[in-house]
Chain A
Amino acid sequence: MEIRKGIGVSPGIAIARCMVIDSKDYRIPRRSILDSQRAKEILRVRRAFAIAIKDLTDLSERKHFEEGKIKDIFAVHMRFLRDKTFRKRIMDFIDKERVTAEYAVSTILREIASHFEGIDDPYISERAADIYDIERRLLVHLLGKVKEEVEHLREEVVIMAHDLTPTQTASFNRTFVKGFATEAGGRTSHTAIISKTMGIPAVVALGDMTSGINSESIVIIDGNRGVVVIDPDEETLKQYRNYAQQVSLFVHQLDELRDKPAVTRDEVKVQLLGNIEFPEESAMVRDKGGEGIGLYRTEFLYLYGGTEPTEEDHYQAYAQAVKVFPHEPVVIRTMDLGADKLPQTIRQTPEANPVLGLRSIRYCLQNLGLFKTQLRAILRASVLGDVRVMFPLITNLQELRQAKMILRDVMEDLDEYAAPYNAKIPVGIMIETPSSALTSNYLATESDFFSIGTNDLIQYTLAVDRGNEHVSTLFSAAEPAIVRILRSVIHDAGKAGIGLSICGEVASDPEYIMLLLGMGVRTLSLAPPMIPEIKKIIRSVSIEDCNMLARRVATLDSQRQIKNLLRDAASQILPGQL
């Protein structure tokens, strides 16, 4: 039994056989096998050789490979593939070292290649390329098998990998994938996002883990505590099975709430929307009982393609999300990246202080081509449903006016092409800087709605980077300054009669729901898996109690007092669950 500690990025417990995923560029992690599996792995090597020989024969029979040089290269490959001592060396390695076929192939071929590379004669050292070619040829078959296994899973597994790419996760058969554990990654890694979306437990940042692992191992992934247990003993397995049962019972109870409205005991309706990153997540929002998309982060379009997305890329992504919610609000936030995170093709010089630098709406206002492309796509998608556009990081009225002016420019462009769009598309802003929060009464006169991004608002107001472990404990929504600033923004929005929602993490924190409702919030936008739990809280409270709590919080002058009060109030509603 081996217990590894990482970062839990998606809650839940998964217990299943593990499947180790190799990275795309054929850097094969060393993976041990049982004595009894050696014959199977050796057979896999034999098969890979046989298929490679057949492929090569087919290839060389084609006419355009008749030319001398290429034919020679294939002839060399063919001789290697038929070389018995070569094959034996790979098989002996499996037999002696007890490793997988792909690891043996990769290791031996690389040994040979590096031998060639070390020889001081260009004619010979260049032959290393031939060896890599042969390696690739064999691995395609060996890894192709693994890829196929992932796509055609027949039993439940947990996926273990160094890191997962979007392409890899997209190919998983989601019915059978029960959890993720990765060596790399952080809270905002792709694995974190995708596991939250799929609602399955995940632990990242585990460090070197795939090397010693047996592919038949049973693995426990505890996303609640950020722990992974490899080959658990009977006792641990039993404990975790009980624990998993309790957790799933709770989740099951919550799922029964799906079709029930989010209303308080005294019949006050609260709108629960989902935060999404990928268009596919909109279905998850609907399945969890969400009533629309309150925050559609569009950064993935810029991050995963490697190049700037085209208008069509944007449009397709938006259309896909709107299709799930044709009559409900879908709030699309325009690009919210710092210059430091942009793809290479549009990146600029590094900044000393990117958090206060050229990012988000500021970047867009200086790069109108990129900004207009996205706005055009949002406008085109606006006829498909109740699409709304939201500008991030607005600090003052002038920025809002500039952004709206550009939106009008794009509308005029579309008019010229007679392209349909919703001319009355609601335009809102994120309130996530102290500047915009303090002047929200002005901003409210020219916005159709506010969405309070508490993560950035807290960071900028308290001057705390929560990613910095030395100060992260200072990051708290229970600071009197945060409570006061929220109250003032909520007040200004109410006075102007415009929409207001909370889309930061506070909206999915059970301890803060009563306070938010008590301060007048009626729309929350949160991570889809959290919707049922928050709905349960809403259905358990009365606005009367929430109002009282909010009034008491307003009289407290320290974070500790506020935090304790909120915790006490929440534990009375959901005893034993917090």
Chain B
Amino acid sequence: MRPAMQFVDLAGSFKSDISVSNEVTTADAKSIMQMTMLAATCGSKLRVRARGRDAKDALEAIRELVEEKLFGEPPGEKAASVQKG
């Protein structure tokens, strides 16, 4: 739930309407219900759309969260998952 929470919190900080879709369905990025039900696991491909005045910033921030910060997972946990894998 933690990544979903971060995603929703981040999306909520922008004024733009932001949606996330997979092949099947589209979710409101500001709704934790819809985002969790999108059920994206590691490796899923998602399309993020933003419409509004701060749409560009929103997309950039979301890209950063997903691709660079990796949802801010602390290094310890990450190491553990690598070992397991």
Contact = CB atoms under 8 A, between A and B. Distances in A.
A86 interface: yes
Nearest to A130: B1
B47 interface: no
Contacts of B61: none
A570 to B, nearest CB: 68
Given A75-B5, A76-B1, A130-B1, A83 B32 contact: yes
B84 interface: no
A119 B39 CA distance: 8
Contacts of A84: 31
A124 interface: yes
Nearest to A109: B33
Given A79-B5, A79-B8, A86 B33 contact: yes
A127 B1 CA distance: 8
Nearest to A124: B39
A151 to B, nearest CB: 34
A127 B33 contact: no
A127 B37 CA distance: 10
Nearest to A115: B37
B26 interface: no
Nearest to A111: B37
Contact of B33 (A73, A89, A119): A89
Contacts of B2: 72
A112 B32 contact: no
Given A72-B1, A76-B1, A127-B1, A85 B31 contact: yes
A72 B8 CA distance: 14
Interface residue SS majority, chain B:
helix
B41 interface: yes
Interface residues of A, number: 20
A85 B28 contact: yes
B34 interface: yes
A86 B31 CA distance: 7
Interface string A116-131: 1001010110010010
A80 interface: yes
Nearest to A72: B2
Contact of B36 (A72, A75, A127): A127
Contacts of B9: 79
Given A72-B1, A76-B5, A124 B33 contact: no
Nearest to A126: B1
Main secondary structure of the interface of A (DSSP, over half): helix
A84 B12 CA distance: 12
Contacts of A75: 5
A84 B63 CA distance: 24
Contacts of B39: 115-116, 119, 121, 124
A119 B37 CA distance: 10
A127 B41 CA distance: 13
A116 B41 contact: no
A578 to B, nearest CB: 64
B41 A124 contact: yes
Interface in B22-50: 28, 30-34, 36-37, 39, 41
A83 B33 contact: yes
Interface string A81-123: 0011110010000000000000000000000100110010101
B42 to A, nearest CB: 9
A76 B5 CA distance: 7
A85 B34 contact: yes
Nearest to A84: B31
Contacts of A119: 39
Nearest to B37: A115
Interface string B1-17: 11001001100000000
Contacts of A85: 28, 30-31, 33-34
A116 B31 contact: no
B3 to A, nearest CB: 10
A121 B43 CA distance: 13
Contacts of B36: 116, 124, 127
28 contacts: A72-B2, A72-B5, A73-B1, A75-B5, A76-B5, A76-B32, A79-B5, A79-B32, A80-B32, A80-B33, A83-B32, A83-B33, A84-B31, A85-B30, A85-B31, A86-B31, A89-B33, A112-B33, A112-B37, A116-B36, A116-B37, A116-B39, A121-B41, A123-B41, A124-B36, A124-B41, A127-B36, A130-B1
6 closest cross-chain pairs (CB), A and B: A85-B31, A86-B33, A79-B32, A76-B1, A83-B32, A83-B31
Interface of B: 1-2, 5, 8-9, 28, 30-34, 36-37, 39, 41
